[in-house]
Amino acid sequence: MTEGLKMRIAGEITLSSTPGGTMKKWREIFGITQAELGKHLKISPSTISDYEGDRRKSPGIGVVHRFVNALIDLDAGKGGHVLAKFRESEEKTERLFEVHEFSAGISASDFVDAIDGKVIANEDALPAKKVYGYTLMDSLKVILMLPADEFPRLYGAMAERAFIFTRVSTGRSPMVVIRVTQTKPSVVVLHGLVQVDKLAIKIAERERIPVIVTKKEVDTLRQDLAKF
């Protein structure tokens, strides 16, 4: 968990358009003052302030590495309460979905064949799609219980993956969620559905995401996809 959180923080800072502001956000999440952080890193609080105000050039890998380790170390010195909260949150959200990565990417068409699927939207887009893994999720629990800032975790190592939604009633809610998020999966699978909501189809067509339905049992589906 600790290494995963370190990678998450470092990744957010590195990819942020305002890395200093992201550093400040994480420092405040951990409840650490600029003075505490400066003392631990053996630099002045004003230097921390300059980074957070983006008055210094973007921090390099070395600075980010030291910053992230300092947050974890300082929290541990205070009893590790923040890290414990993240661990508890992660344990809760992990019960809402399963992320699986393939050993190599496969074509979207091969993925459809593997799950005995039927394409109901954007079949013409399949040849251009690759699938490097899948995320299996309970649609109701994910939509109702997964915090918005945890949604990036659904994408695992790569966004080019299949989202497989179970316990789907019409398909509308999963597609609305995908519509408003910046990152999109390669394909969407609506498990067990026969009739898909017209709005869900329209959203899929707008986003150019193939939508697939399958009635294959979930355990069998897992087994068949394990070969990739």
> For the chain, which residues make up each domain, given as ranges?
2-91, 95-225
User: Nearest 5°: CA angle at 59, between 82 and 15?
Assistant: 70
CATH tag for 95-225 (out of 3.40.1390.20, 2.40.160.40, 3.30.70.60, 3.30.420.40): 3.40.1390.20
Residue 12's pLDDT is: 86
pLDDT average, residue stretch 169-184: 87
Q: What is the mean pLDDT of residues 164-182?
A: 88
User: Do the beta carbons of residue 13 and residue 59 sit within 8 Å?
Assistant: yes
- Please indicate whether the domains covering 2-91 and 95-225 agree at the CATH topology level: no
CA distance 145 to 35: 37
pLDDT at 35: 95
The class level of CATH for 2-91 reads mainly alpha
Assess whether pLDDT exceeds 80 at residue 2: no
Distance (Å, whole) CA 142 – CA 139 = 5
- Going by DSSP bridges, is the β-strand pair 97-107/130-138 parallel, antiparallel, or unpaired? antiparallel
Q: Given 3-state DSSP classes, what are the helix, strand and coil percentages for the chain, each rounded to the nearest 5?
A: 55, 15, 30
Supply the pLDDT for residue 93. Answer: 56
State CA 49 to chain mean position distance: 30
Scanning the structure block, which residue is given the tokens 């600029």? Answer: 34
36 confidence band (pLDDT: 50, 70, 90): very high
Task: List, in order, residues 6 or more apart from 43 with CB less than 8 Å away.
Answer: none
Which has the higher per-residue pLDDT, 149 or 167? Answer: 167
